[in-house]
Structure 1
């Protein structure tokens, strides 16, 4: 074999190997890189960060959910609410908390004396703001309650009348005559006695279809007479 052929033979073998390697690489499947720091790794990191951000947002939204509280007086003879206090008075007292009339339920005892008010706040931040406002005035207290306590309390919604001083011998027909001209739900009426001096005072609860009917009754019938006895009327919220 000549010297020229001896030199050319290794070069031909090398060229053949290169061509074979190129063909293998052309048809070989492309596998994804694992644990790499290239663009795909950055995309994965971005996806993970976005998922974490969404999770944080969900937890934050859950933390900012609705809160419930009980509002009452702490003045001497407290743990109650002034008889003449309205829902609007409470809303104005907590004017930084975004409360509406539907967010307030008056908590009456069995004798329909207001013992406090149940409040529904749009967020926990709003509840915290209310606590801060009340602590400055020092006339009232606000305690957190559960949603069950809120749901179980029925709201009279300004549609109920409490008649005070009804004669003890008055029958339902006498009360209907007293309320003549007023829209109200027919008997039976709820009736009970409240301690008084010198004698117990008879109270009668009458429900009306609307707030307007109840307010009309208060305006036109308060301090009117039933069987020659004056009867005072209070609208229950």
Structure 2
């Protein structure tokens, strides 16, 4: 074989190898591209968009709340029976899915219950409550603002009203009356309420828990402070 023929043969073999290599590379599987800084930025933007969506969902849920003031319509003005409990209101409006946390008793300065502030978790629940209240013909429900709800303090069953405390009773005398119960220390809030034949002294006592307040009510109601009977009422 001449040198010229050998050179032609070598070129043919190299060309076939290049062609085969290019064909194999075209059929090779494509591996996933690693995340770059740009991809990370896109992921962060997507996460931020998701957070924004969640925030908007929570805001929409909050805007779906409705608030109302519940009271009876007996002659003598709007008020609420002093013996009415939060559970009584929840049972009266049993189609509205209210919880104890959705009810705040509205007391006046003398701690007479004038009504109850209610929080509904949807406009539809509020509409249902209005219908139920009107059907009973004993109560009424008026719409109020979120600010009115937020501003109203709830005693949450952790406060006691001592009625009939002797006017000459000192804080030490009241503490002796409460001896054996768990209550928050002085100063106690004290004021006079109109009564016959003379004004009645009322003292507000706060307890750490609902259980403490109920135990005090059970053990101290209608017992004596300086030889005077004292009635105890739990504020809700």
TM-score normalised by length of structure 1? 0.74
Partner of 1:12: none
Matches within 5 A, 1:25-36: none
Partner of 1:117: 116
8 A contact 1:72–1:78 mirrored in 2: no
Cα distance in 1 for partners of 2:143, 2:78 equals 15
> Where do 5+ consecutive residues of structure 1 fail to align?
1-57
Cα distance in 2 for partners of 1:135, 1:221 equals 39
Question: What RMSD over aligned residues (CA atoms) do the two structures have, in Å?
Answer: 1.7
Q: CA deviation at 1:63?
A: 9.9
Cα distance in 2 for partners of 1:78, 1:100 equals 27
Q: 1:169 to 1:63 in 2, by over 3 A?
A: closer
Q: CA deviation at 1:138?
A: 1.0
Q: 1:231 to 1:62 in 2, by over 3 A?
A: closer
Partner of 1:159: 158
Partner of 1:74: 73
Cα distance in 1 for partners of 2:139, 2:94 equals 15
SS at match of 1:193: strand
SS at match of 1:218: helix
Partner of 1:13: none
Partner of 1:202: 201
8 A contact 1:87–1:101 mirrored in 2: yes
Following TM superposition, the consecutive aligned residue runs of length 4 or more in structure 1 with deviations greater than 6 angstroms are: none
Cα distance in 1 for partners of 2:83, 2:61 equals 37
Q: CA deviation at 1:78?
A: 3.1
Q: How many residues align?
A: 180
* 2:69 is aligned with 1:84: no
Q: 1:64 to 1:198 in 2, by over 3 A?
A: same
TM-score normalised by length of structure 2? 0.74
> Where do 5+ consecutive residues of structure 2 fail to align?
1-56
* 2:93 is aligned with 1:94: yes
8 A contact 1:163–1:232 mirrored in 2: yes
Partner of 1:188: 187
SS at match of 1:120: strand
